[in-house]
Amino acid sequence: MASETRERALGQSIQGWSLTLMVTLYTAAVIGTGMGVYAGFQYFLGQEHTVLGLMIEHLWHVLVLGVLIYLSLYVVLLKKIVRPLQSLFLKLYAVAGGDLRPASIESNILEIQGIVDGINLMLAKIGSSVPGVSLSGLANTASKLRALAKSYSVPETTKDALLIIAADIEGAAASLMKDSLQGKVRA
């Protein structure tokens, strides 16, 4: 999902490995190496084991430990790191499309929260970079209009008008932001 979004946004193919796959492969290599070294010590210490017997015994340990460690790492990495990172780069693509609302990604990982804080600071700076217009203010106004249009107390014809106005404001904010980023708007 995430790589498809990046490929569409960048217009190019993305090559590489996922974080979970990298951690899984390195974990498997470390477990296999550790068990191999332990089996070598057992063999050279003269315990009555054959090489084949040691391989079978330690292969069982490697498989069981490997599966348990893989599953626990996969769940933790996916929930705590990969999903917040996916949300972050989806937010960055939304910013490229003109969405200047602050990122609201919950994470108890300090590095990820630091990136979120940096993105929000960048959005605040971009929002104030166009003279006389607060782009983040425009984006917030559009969000408020959309919320108002969804309320029950507003007549249907007013809802439609509010949604049109919100779309126009978002379009204007996106256009101003793109012009600002391309240097067409001077402070």
Q: Over the stretch 67-117, which tens digit does the pLDDT of each residue have? A: 888 888 888 888 888 889 889 989 888 887 777 788 888 888 888 888 899
Question: How many whole angstroms separate alpha carbon 64 and alpha carbon 44?
Answer: 25
Residue pLDDT, tens place only, 134-146: 666 777 777 777 7
109 shares a domain with 82: no
139 shares a domain with 62: no
Q: How confident is the model at residue 186 (pLDDT cuts 50, 70, 90)?
A: very low
Question: How many whole angstroms separate alpha carbon 170 and alpha carbon 141?
Answer: 9
Number of neighbouring beta carbons within 10 Å of residue 88: 16
pLDDT > 80? residue 132: no
82 shares a domain with 116: no
Whole-angstrom distance between the N-terminal and C-terminal Cα of the chain?
Answer: 39
pLDDT for position 28: 80
Residue pLDDT, tens place only, 15-74: 677 777 788 788 888 888 888 888 888 778 776 777 777 777 778 877 888 788 888 888
Residue pLDDT, tens place only, 145-172: 777 777 767 777 777 787 888 888 877 7
Q: Where are the alpha helices (DSSP H) in 45-82?
A: 51-77
Structure tokens that stand for 54 in this block = 């040691």
Q: How confident is the model at residue 129 (pLDDT cuts 50, 70, 90)?
A: low
Torsional sign, CA 95, 139, 185, 130 = negative
151 shares a domain with 64: no
Give the range of the structural domain holding residue 184, as residue numbers without chain letter.
103-187
126 shares a domain with 150: yes
Exposure of 92 by Cβ count < 10 A (0-12 exposed, 13-18 middle, 19+ buried)?
middle
Chosen domain end from 96, 115, 139: 96
DSSP state letter for 133: -
72 shares a domain with 25: yes
Q: How confident is the model at residue 187 (pLDDT cuts 50, 70, 90)?
A: very low
